[in-house]
Amino acid sequence: MVKNYSFVKNQLMKLFSCLICFLLVLNLSAQNRYSVQLTNMDKPEKTAVFNEGDRVIVYFNDTSEICGNLKAIDQSNLVVDSVTVPVNAVQIIVDRKPKSALFKIAGAGMVIGGAAITAGGFALLAMGLLPPSVESLYLVPAGLIADYFGVHFIIKGINKLGGKGKQYDIGYRYTMQIIDK
């Protein structure tokens, strides 16, 4: 008889613990989760979505900025590293998601390639300027063009290495909406 009583007691405890766990999970999943959706004005099919926990840089209308993780989102405010930002004060959002190693290797390759192109451009420029001749008519412009593209590749490579992501200009190229998940 005592064994049956303990069996019922254990079953009752299991039932209550399952009920409490179910209510806890139901309560946690019932919270509204929002995300920031940025839509391109020219091409509405191009969108970017920022969820809670994404690394961003937020620039305000008064040119101040804050960098950090997007902690919480609601219809009127964003919280970036415990700083509450009104949605209507956001001017630019920059994506700071971590880049892959292949992305950084490509950036280093662009820097090295840009340096080689720039060096070649300076060599063409020097060959065209030092002995004044008819050849300088095509060596000097070719050297200047090679220098331009070399420096351009170096700048693009440094941007890839720096880790700053895409910049979204709110109101100029993108519209911002707060959406339910």
Specify whether 77 is located in the same domain as 88. yes
What's the number of domains the chain is made of? 3
- pTM flag (> 0.75): no
**Look-up of token digits 């979505």:** 49
Query: Is the separation of the CB atoms in 69 and 57 below 8 Å?
Result: no
> What gap in Å lies between CA 170 and CA 91, rounded to an integer?
5
Specify whether 75 is located in the same domain as 119. no
Q: What is the DSSP letter of 89?
A: G
Specify whether 23 is located in the same domain as 43. no
Angle between helices 136-162 and 101-129 (to 10 degrees): 160
**What CATH number did the domain enclosing 65 receive?**
2.30.30
What pLDDT is recorded for position 16? Answer: 67
What pLDDT is recorded for position 171? Answer: 83
Specify whether 27 is located in the same domain as 42. no
99-103 own/partner pairs: CB under 8 Å, 24+ apart: 99/160, 99/163, 99/165, 103/160
Structural domain span for residue 19: 1-31
Specify whether 25 is located in the same domain as 39. no
**Per-block mean pLDDT, blocks of 10 residues, the chain (181 long):** 55 69 57 79 88 86 84 80 84 81 88 96 90 83 94 90 79 85 70
> What gap in Å lies between CA 89 and CA 114, rounded to an integer?
39
What pLDDT is recorded for position 146? Answer: 95
Query: Is the separation of the CB atoms in 27 and 167 below 8 Å?
Result: no
What pLDDT is recorded for position 25? Answer: 61
**Look-up of token digits 């979204």:** 168
